[in-house]
Structure 1
Amino acid sequence: MSKTQFTISVFTEDQIGLLNRVSIIFTRRHINIESIAASESEIKGIHRYTIVITEEEELVIKVVKQLDKQVDVVRAFYHTNEEVVFQEIALYKVATNVLAAGGNAEKIVRKHNARFLTVEPAFTIIEKTGHKEETQLLFDELAPYGILEFVRSGRVAITKPMKELREYLNELEIASANK
């Protein structure tokens, strides 16, 4: 089997130490996490981890099943890149004088549809959202002008075809009520 990139969404209760327990599941199976983002979900008290890995689907299925068995995990899903809409955000800090000179650096930023977030006397912070390849391309083109600092978020993703999380929660409530 060949390895494919997958986005795993893990919906959890808001518990201390849960991220560590989730990451250990990947570590024990020697799976490299390429990207991870954690945030609140659309339901109060439920958090979402968005994890990107490149692995064989058979192993991804096993990992998702193991995640589902965790006490504070509400539900875990996996999706291919074609089944999700995803973005990342990158911030670049460059010297303001490089941009103020009116040369190519400013043209590069505008060509990539990036935003100027703040302009200080010593530095300017630029924001670019897009896929990792897009944010990396802007980095590569700005690098000759000097990047003082750079950070890129993990992937945030929303699935295209999926029941709402509320539907799964309702199913879980019905199933536990019938026990």
Structure 2
Amino acid sequence: MQEKTLYTITIFSENTVGVLNQIATIFTRRQLNIETLSVSPSAIKGIHKFTITTFAETEEVMKKLVNQIDKRVDILKAYYNTNDDLVHQEIALYKIETEKLLATSQVEDLVRKHNALILDVNEHSTVIQKTGHYEDTQALFDELAQRIGVLQFVRSGRIAITKSRVERLSDMLEKLKEKEEKIKRKNS
């Protein structure tokens, strides 16, 4: 069996009801699992950015998936990338018992070792935040679970930006604007 590659799909759309359902349906039809999902406004006003990770056996599978997503009316543009093309992070929050944390003499070392932050401390619990790649956030979870115990844990979906100078959608919108201006000049 061929080893699968983790791909990050970036989708730009207007913020309309049902877009996520349309996207999820395409993944389901192609029998691809969404590993992580993050949605937020993009740098372009009125446009939202979906960042989705999924494993696929070949790049051809990704090309077909992205082409299917692009065909949706509500989608402006979709792209796929591998980790080499991106700067990406996740954020994780860990809640642990304050008493157990304080009983560990190496609290400061643990937090520094994992480059984490203590966000909240009260008499019952302490919340720690860690940003990084999946492996980084998982390593802290494993160590906390083993040494202290974890009451609650949550990890965000991947957020990512391309290493290229500008967002690909910006290039596409600029080309469309240039094309429209040429048509206007031609018709004038």
In the alignment, residue 44 of structure 1 is paired with which amino acid? K
Contact 1:68 1:76 in 2 (8 A): yes
Identity %: 51
CA distance in 1, matches of 2:74, 2:89: 27
The 5-angstrom pairing of residues 7-18 of structure 1 reads 7-18=8-19
2:176 aligned with 1:172, yes or no?
yes
Quick one: distance in 1 between partners of 2:12 and 2:107?
41
RMSD: 1.8
Tell which structure's C-alpha radius of gyration is larger.
Answer: 2
Matched residues in 1 for 2:34 and 2:41: separation? Answer: 20
> Following the alignment from structure 2 to structure 1, what is the Cα–Cα distance between the partners of residues 33 and 177?
34
TM-score between both structures, scaled by the size of structure 1: 0.93
Q: CA separation in 2, counterparts of 1:118 and 1:168?
A: 43
How far did residue 98 of structure 1 move? 1.5
CA distance in 1, matches of 2:73, 2:165: 23
Structure 2 distance, partners of 1:63, 1:172, is: 24
Structure 2 residue 159 is the aligned partner of structure 1 residue 156:
yes
Deviation at 1:87, TM superposition (A): 0.4
- Contact 1:116/1:125 (<8 A) preserved: yes
One-letter amino acid of the counterpart of residue 63, structure 1 = L
Which letter does structure 2 place at the counterpart of 1:13?
E
Q: What 5-or-longer segments of structure 1 have no aligned partner?
A: none
Corresponding letter in the other structure for 2:175: E
- State the distance in 2 between where 1:38 and 1:123 align: 30
TM-score (norm: length of structure 2): 0.88
CA shift for structure 1 position 169: 1.3
Q: Distance in 2 between matches of 1:73 and 1:162?
A: 23
1:132 alignment partner, one of 113, 131, 134? 134
CA gap 1:162/1:2 in 2 versus in 1, 3 angstroms: farther
